Chains A and B, each alone.
Chain A
Amino acid sequence: MLKSREQLQALRETLLKAINAEKQRIIVCAGAGCVSKGALKIYKKFGEIMSEKKVNFSLELQKEPHSDGVRLKESGCHGFCEAGPLVRIEPQGWLYVKVKEEDCEEIVEKTVIGGKCVDRLAYSENGVIYREQKEVPFYKSQTRIVLSNCDKIDASSIEEYVALGGYTALEKALFDMTADEIVKEITDSGLRGRGGGGFPAGKKWSQVAAQKCAEKFVVCNGDEGDPGAFMDRSVMEDDPHRMIEGMIIAGIACGASQGYIYVRAEYPKAVARLNLAIKQATELGVMGDDILGSGKSFHLHINKGAGAFVCGEGSALTASIEGKRGMPRTKPPRTVEHGLFDKPTVLNNVETFANVSLIINEGAAKFKAVGTENSSGTKTFALTGNIKNAGLIEVPMGTTLRKVIFDIGGGMRDGKKFKAVQIGGPSGGCLTEEHLDLPLDFDSLKKVGAIIGSGGLVVMDEHTCMVEVARFFMNFTQHESCGKCVPCREGTKRMLAILNRIVEGRGEDGDIEMLEELGKFISDMSLCGLGKTAAGPVLSTIKYFKDEYKAHIYDKHCPANACQKLKTIKIDPELCKGCSKCARHCPVLAISGEIKKTFAIDQSKCIKCGTCLDACPFGAIKESWNG
């Protein structure tokens, strides 16, 4: 165990030498996307082939540097999930995409032994081959700061984190700065909470630091429950020490010696990685009692969530850590005064803590240089949906939606037309074509009725029905409502019932107005953030896509050709041979006709189940949305 700052610095120097001595590195992305596409098999295959060909390689960082070694390692998510499995070769920086097990031999022969790039595996677009990762359009427009380690280090190794400058911010916080100076630096940086609210982190820290109470807590919200978001997952799985370092610094600054990480149980790998990271940090001496001989202490615990979206709300989250039902309570008192176990608590999100070491290391001024005036730094986004390059990205605050979707995301999938993007998940809203040049930052989004949220960006094309999307989110929120306050519990139910009617073709005159009225009421009257934002997706889709609502309600027509209950199923007389198979399969006896003559569907009886479509041997039965 390290007892002083000097010992940590000496260790860092040794480790860095060892990394610099590696002749070449084969980095296999082991993020969730690549693993699900077979990355671990590729990693194994590389090892087998290199053993076969007698290449001098190692799987772990070698403490004794030698100059001809090849390092084979798994790293965290590289972000470009769409092109996975990904393999990067360093120091050249070559990126190989969609790598298969069969490609490993060629990579070992040509790249590892021959030193040449395998161009057929490089990313190419419109006939241009991009060998180096940093040249690939997906990466070129990004500023990867918080995620900078994710695609470099082996997250299960604290040595690699330390070698690349890990825990230097902790050193500074322990030995060069007072608690007040740390809080001031965070305040000056303008860092705002990355979990959705955008509350200034420095303000929160100073409020907790000011509390005269012997026992305080630092809590990290890793309950990333927004459907369509996985940024925090990547940080927890791929660079856990960065977040932990931020938490320890928060503890020192605010006078807390105990911390809790609340992680979703749906992220088993994150739980395992965090447990390992805590063990390593304690063994190394950067966490625990008397950290690096400073006399300061900090201990971390992990709590697994049990599947309740509302636990992303501060007071619900602390209730859950206390072993209770995760229900929010009335505020004030706020979490900074009476938080976990009724003690003053700093509660921040994963990405917020991940920014801390950066600010302490580089200073508030440098941090503020990135982003916009009131939203400094970068933001990670999970880019998903009907987009070409789905993945995990990081851009300066204030980057336009157009740049994110078209430059980084590569535009729409299958050449479809852009329709809208849902930002902020079930608490957010949708943005349309008119917002493409809107800068993505806390304040600009608020003005148009959306929120940055935790950073989920779900891109939708012309075949996505916005009424159905609103129904989908309302279904989610209604299900996740904790039931404590009436406006949210009953209001979301009523709104969902109306939306269900509309997408099923039973919408009535006045439904839109009723949705707007209910939405406003729920937003004004609900107890916590979940209820206050529940109507967001409905209200914003009504605002920008009112015509679609009207088409569903008055014309019983879904303009996006998506709502199943609004389609018509017809028999094409040209193709029908009159075999009667469809009529025999129809569960509601809606089809009739004479053998060897054209059959017909009675639309008043048809329940649009589609059984006849599967039954027809001639492909004569067709769906249509045109009445």
Chain B
Amino acid sequence: MQDTIDYSVLDAAIEEFGAKESSLIAVLQRAQEVYRYLPAEIFPYLSAKLGISEAKIYGVATFYENFSLEKKGKYVIKVCDGTACHVRHSVPILEALRKELGLSAEKKTTDDGMFTVETVSCLGACSSAPAVMVNDEIYPTMNPDKAIALVISLQGVKNA
């Protein structure tokens, strides 16, 4: 876990996308990729560099679903609750994962920082419904048992 912010990440992103207002989302996306969330400390820094008020940056960061102001787990498990997954019973998968990891709709990340469980509107993997995405990989035709087996195998990676 990094406690001090590595601002060079932001400098590199601003260099790449340009120090202008329209780069804000791309820069925040890069920051989120690296830090796995948006630490509030970066807002004043970005405000000075991009010439946008902190309030506006905060507005953008909270408007979009993909940005998180809270730390996320090493494995972000997104349970697809798109229409196709929903009618093929994705909700029991979500419930099983939450139960297994002691999480809820409010508490999304485990205390050890390993797992975050959240829903996503649609992964576009409707033909493999119900689908679950862990980081960038899609797991098709899931059910509660398979989802729990997946979590156990990911925990195994940690312990190995």
Which residues B112-142 have CB closer than 8 A to chain A? 120-129, 131, 136, 138-140
Contact flag A266-B83 (CB < 8 Å), given A33-B140, A37-B140, A323-B24: no
Report the bound CA distance from A456 to B122 in whole Å.
12
Q: Which among A302-310, A346-354, A399-407, A545-553 touches the partner chain?
A: A302-310
Stretch at the interface among A186-194, A226-234, A579-587, A599-607: A226-234
Q: How far is the CB of B115 from chain A (nearest CB, A)?
A: 19
Q: Are B125 and A230 in contact (CB under 8 A)?
A: yes
Q: Report the minimum CB–CB distance from B60 to chain A (whole Å).
A: 6
Q: How far is the CB of B129 from chain A (nearest CB, A)?
A: 6
Residue from A323, A480, A482 having most chain B Cβ neighbours under 10 A: A323
List of B residues within 8 angstroms of A267 by Cβ: 124
Q: Is the CB of B140 within 8 A of A36?
A: yes
Separation of A280 and B32 alpha carbons in the complex (Å): 29
Report if A303-B26 is in contact (Cβ < 8 Å); known contacts: A228-B83, A323-B60. Answer: yes
Q: Does B154 contact A (CB under 8 A)?
A: no
Residues of B within 8 A of A558 (CB): none
Question: Could you tell me the distance between the alpha carbons of A476 and B149 in the complex, rounded to whole angstroms?
Answer: 29
B59 within 8 A of A: yes
> B17: nearest residue on chain A (CB-CB)?
A323
Measured CA separation A307–B63 after assembly (Å): 9
Question: How many residue-residue contacts, CB under 8 A, span A and B?
Answer: 137
Is B128 in contact with A229, judged by CB distance below 8 angstroms? no
Chain A: CB-nearest residue to B78: A266
B contact residues around A227 at 8 Å (CB): 81-84, 86, 121-122
Residue of A nearest to B129 (CB): A384
Contact of A33 among B52, B81, B86, B125 (CB under 8 A): B125
Q: List 9 A-B contacts (CB under 8 A).
A: A32-B128, A227-B121, A228-B83, A229-B124, A306-B25, A307-B65, A308-B63, A309-B121, A323-B22
Cβ contact within 8 Å between B59 and A325: yes
Interface presence of B100 (CB below 8 A): no
Q: Which residues of A contact B (CB under 8 A)?
A: 32-33, 35-37, 81-82, 84, 224-230, 233, 264-268, 303-309, 320-327, 341, 382, 384-386, 390-392, 422, 425, 456, 458, 460, 464, 469, 472-473, 476, 480, 482
Q: Which of B24, B29, B82, B124 has the most CB of A within 10 A?
A: B124
Contact of A228 among B84, B128, B140 (CB under 8 A): B84
- B99 CB to nearest chain A CB (Å): 11
- Contact partner, B65, options A84, A224, A306, A469, Cβ 8 Å: A306
Q: Which A-B residue pairs are the 10 nearest by beta carbons?
A: A81-B127, A307-B65, A227-B82, A306-B64, A384-B84, A228-B83, A230-B124, A307-B66, A36-B140, A323-B24
Q: Quote the shortest CB–CB distance from A481 to chain B (angstroms).
A: 12
Q: Which residues of the partner chain A approach B21 to less than 8 Å between Cβ atoms?
A: 322-324
Closest CB of chain B to A278's CB: distance in Å?
15
Which residues of chain B (79-104) have a CB below 8 Å from chain A?
81-84, 86-88
- Interfacial chain B residues near A392, Cβ < 8 Å: 127
B75 near A: Cβ within 8 Å? no
**Roughly how many angstroms separate A156 CA and B120 CA in the complex, as a whole number?**
28
Specify which chain A residues have a CB less than 8 angstroms from the CB of B26 in the assembled complex.
Answer: 303-304
Report the minimal beta-carbon distance from B88 to chain A, rounded to whole angstroms: 7
- Chain B 47-73, CB-CB to A under 8 Å as 1, else 0, gives 000001000100110011111000000
Check if B23 is an interface residue, CB within 8 A of chain A: yes
* A327 to B127 CA separation, bound complex (whole angstroms): 31
Q: Are A326 and B64 in contact (CB under 8 A)?
A: yes
Knowing A323-B25, A325-B60, A390-B126, the reply to whether A472 touches B138 (Cβ < 8 A) is: no
Across the interface, which residues of B come within 8 angstroms of A226, CB to CB? 122
Known: A320-B25, A391-B127. A460 touches B64 (CB 8 A): no
